[in-house]
Structure 1
Amino acid sequence: MGFERALLFLALALLAEVAGTVGGFGSSVFFVPIANFFFDFESVLGITALFHLASNASKLGLFRAGIDRRLLLQMGVPSVLCAVLGGLAGTLVDTVWLERLLAVFLIVFSGWLLFRPSVSFAPTATGAVIAGAVSGGMAGLVGTGGAVRGLAMAVFNLPKEVFVATSAAIDMGIDLSRALVYWRNGYIHADDLVWIPLLAIVALAGTWLGRRVLRRVPQSAFRRIALLLVFLIGWVTLLGVALG
């Protein structure tokens, strides 16, 4: 990869990290479609898992006081288990139809909530477990499941600090597990590891910038921003599958 192309990739990764922090559900939902323009699919999965580890470590350092331990347990455990299963199944399953289904679901449900801003649901144990399982499974299969978890947390109408911190803690468990699975599957290539130190710096800088932006966002606007980003992610995912 040429120098100018590398700079473009890192700049877009920084924007993805800032957007992921402000949206509350991590950068992989933005980083994966960006990385697809620069790397092959297997490398994208491996690099995303490692980049997201650095991203979530940064968020936990800056937002750790906001972690909801009950929600972390209810969503986190099924997320990690299903991320492992999804990662193992990734070599056996054609994920294109899953990406289409995910995209349509994100578009329809987030669009409905945008037009019905008063709708919210209590974070029940059953809802949290289902959201965790689906988001973890999609993370293992297609590299990103944060939009599903972000949608669920937006429905729960969580305070922004709780949203960001708890999502990052869940993601950390998912990324640790799927990084091991991707390594086993041969998705983490030796020539891709050169990007990891640079992306770790990008993750820290993007999280810091995103935190500064988030402090200026009122709680009432935070939910709308999260839902709008999920809505856009749905369309980007659908377009990516169509063009692919």
Structure 2
Amino acid sequence: MAVYEEIMYITLLTLLASLIGTLAGFGISTIMIPILLVFLPLPQTLLLVAIIHWFNDIWKIILFREGIKWKLFLAFGLPGIFTSFLGSSLSLRIPREILSRALGLFLIAYVLFILFNRTFKLSQKLSVAVSGGALTGFFAGIFGIGGEINAVALSAFNLEKAVYVATAGAISFMIDSTRIATYVTGGVRLDPALLSGFLIFVPASLIGALLGKKGVEKIPQEKFRNFVAIFIFLLGLKLVLFP
């Protein structure tokens, strides 16, 4: 595949993934990584997607900045920094299939649980937030994804829409910054042609985020957790069937 064709496909993929990632609060890596692995090596794929994910984090923070809960953000984000470093250090050294399927089964089980327990809501205790943040960071590093665990924890708090998206973006920003640094210091590099593609990838991610924000605004608050749960279920199913 010619380089300009790769850039075109990645741009369209970035637009779609950023739209869904803003709507659901997660999903960019899960959408992009399997497709990019068709024509890119795993290390380059993880780094490329991590950078695109990092920019989408910034857009979510800016577009939903009024919703950030700083206490929740710090409780999630700080443990996530340390565990994402551990996960990204292991990401290229251990088999991923069994762990991916286990994560997928967990996500499906969570959705079924809240389906039959609609009033379920986690307490925003420090210990709960710290545990969720640690798991999110670890899975983000080891799989190149992690937003699903983040979504499970944050949706279990049944947060307001703006709080959910903004807090998810802020947490992911810290975690993505750590894993990008880990990949780069570990020797992973992108082809110069792909680096030039960021002149298009970044605006595409912003357009996707803006479209996603309009979608979030149209979803009633009382139905928002169910909307997020649908995406958690679909991505959990994907991990089980196509780890």
Which TM-score applies when normalising by structure 1? 0.92
Q: Which segment is superposed worse, 103-112 or 160-169?
A: 103-112
Q: Which segment is superposed worse, 91-100 or 73-82?
A: 91-100
Letter in 2 for 1:141: I
Q: Match of 2:197?
A: 195
Distance 1:211 1:120 in 2: 25
Q: Quick check: 1:234 aligned with 2:236?
A: yes
Distance 1:199 1:27 in 2: 13
**Structure 1 pair 44–5 and aligned structure 2 pair: CA distance change class (3 A):** closer
RMSD: 1.7
Q: Match of 2:219?
A: 217
Distance 1:23 1:6 in 2: 25
Q: Match of 2:70?
A: 69
Distance 1:213 1:135 in 2: 25
The Cα shift of 1:96 comes to 2.4
Aligned residues: 241
The Cα shift of 1:176 comes to 0.9
The Cα shift of 1:6 comes to 4.3
Distance 1:194 1:102 in 2: 35
Distance 1:152 1:120 in 2: 10
The Cα shift of 1:26 comes to 5.5
8 Å contact from structure 1 (residues 59, 207) kept in 2: yes
Q: Match of 2:41?
A: 40
Q: Match of 1:139?
A: 140
8 Å contact from structure 2 (residues 84, 178) kept in 1: yes
Q: Secondary structure at the residue paired with 2:145?
A: coil
8 Å contact from structure 2 (residues 14, 52) kept in 1: no
Distance 2:81 2:234 in 1: 26
Q: Match of 2:87?
A: 86
8 Å contact from structure 1 (residues 9, 38) kept in 2: no
The Cα shift of 1:144 comes to 0.4
Q: Quick check: 1:153 aligned with 2:126?
A: no
Distance 1:163 1:94 in 2: 32
**Structure 1 pair 63–214 and aligned structure 2 pair: CA distance change class (3 A):** same
8 Å contact from structure 2 (residues 10, 201) kept in 1: no
Q: Match of 1:96?
A: 97
Q: Secondary structure at the residue paired with 2:176?
A: helix
**Structure 1 pair 83–71 and aligned structure 2 pair: CA distance change class (3 A):** same
Letter in 2 for 1:20: G
Which TM-score applies when normalising by structure 2? 0.92
Q: Match of 1:22?
A: 23
**Structure 1 pair 37–238 and aligned structure 2 pair: CA distance change class (3 A):** farther
Letter in 2 for 1:204: L
Q: Match of 2:52?
A: 51
Residue segments in structure 2 that go unaligned for 5+ positions in a row: none
Distance 2:26 2:42 in 1: 22
Letter in 2 for 1:208: L
**Structure 1 pair 35–114 and aligned structure 2 pair: CA distance change class (3 A):** farther
Residue segments in structure 1 that go unaligned for 5+ positions in a row: none
